[in-house]
A = this chain, B = another copy of it.
Amino acid sequence: MKCFFDEQDLHDILSGSVFLACGGGCSIVGGKKMMDAVLNITDKVEYVPFENVDKGKFMAVHAGMGSSGALKENPPLEFGTLRSFNLLEDTLKKKLFATGRKGEYSLSYVVPVESSALAYFMCMLTGVQKKIPVLDGDGGGRAFPKLSMCTFASVGVPVSPAVLVNELPMDDGGTELIMNQESSDVVDELCRAVLDTPVFNNAASLAGFAMSGETLHRENAVVRNTLTKARDIGRVIRKNPNEAVEAVISLLKAHKLFDGAVVDISEQSKGGFNIGTVVIENGKNKVHVLNQNENIIVWSSEKNYPVAMAPDLICYLGDDGKPVSNTAMEKGQYLTLIGVEAPKEMTTRYIINEFSGLYRSFEYFGPYVPLKDIRQI
């Protein structure tokens, strides 16, 4: 039996995925543009639960690449998403042909790299145009700043061939890059380099991490049921407008970390990355939330250790119950900071190692301590 998200589900997924994106993704503004583009094509979107994935079929992953700010203004839309996915399929098809193997190769599912409005609606845009389902699962159960941090990379799915395209027609600045490079870290670096050129203008569609259903079934290869989880989060927020915080915390078995007013938002460039800091104040207490697109570490003025750290999810809800992204935040705004324990697929040694590299950019030199352990100190 086929499964579908309807229009209400899409609205709920938009809201829930902005929450799961931990301050990153493309904000609710960019996400809405993408959702509207989906709804312009269809009023229902097919998805496939993990357990219905055919082990003999193939799929590939979509990721939105660029700066949060640019992606909010000019997110990937139906043109770039489909083009990157089709070009990847085409490249793989030719590769198969070149090896002399007979038989057709086609991509049967489209998979979000992370939990974010950006990745989810990219996949929906490709899915509804190509008439293939979106996987109900993704490579993080949260958003993250580098391609190498996804579960697919962690279980050794080759990132390449990876295809990066912009949203312009080929005769007017359209650009397609096919990259062959084993390391997702280096592919990430190559993408960031070209994203800075005017023709990309800091926003692009990536397709890569092609794999079989068999591979998807490897242990820790994917975080399951994340789109339906985003829908459920959006739904409880919608149904509990005055008690959204409590409803979300109860649904996700999450932890309220802090609430207060935003008193400072700043950003500095460091080693090629934008490092942001959001300061939230409540009475005498303050928290500093450090982000690199996504929220990575939270310091409290009351503690000599971080009170939350990625890969655990560090998420904002506004006082209207709506999820908030770092690029859509304003001084004076009242926020609740919520911590959600990372899915087990995101706490493997590989993934923790990737995040530890990030901690260093924030001058935190200690180990990852899971949220549940910090809460027990």
Contacts and interface: CB of A to CB of B under 8 A. Distances in A.
Interface of A: 90, 94, 97-98, 170-171, 173-183, 186, 189-190, 193-194, 196-199
Given A94-B94, A94-B98, A97-B94, A182 B171 contact: yes
19 contacts: A94-B94, A94-B97, A170-B182, A171-B182, A173-B186, A174-B180, A174-B181, A175-B190, A176-B180, A176-B181, A177-B177, A177-B178, A178-B180, A181-B199, A189-B197, A189-B198, A190-B197, A193-B193, A193-B197
A175 B197 CA distance: 20
Nearest to A195: B193
Q: How many copies does the complex hold?
A: 2
A143 to B, nearest CB: 24
A92 to B, nearest CB: 11
Contact of A98 (B90, B170, B171, B176): B90
Contacts of A178: 177-180
A174 B179 CA distance: 11
Ranked 5 nearest A-B pairs via Cβ:
A176-B180, A178-B178, A94-B94, A193-B193, A175-B181
A174 B177 CA distance: 16
Contacts of A174: 180-182
Contacts of A186: 173, 175, 197, 199
Contacts of A170: 180, 182
Contacts of A98: 90, 94
Contact of A193 (B94, B176, B181, B194): B194
Contacts of A190: 175, 177, 194, 197, 199
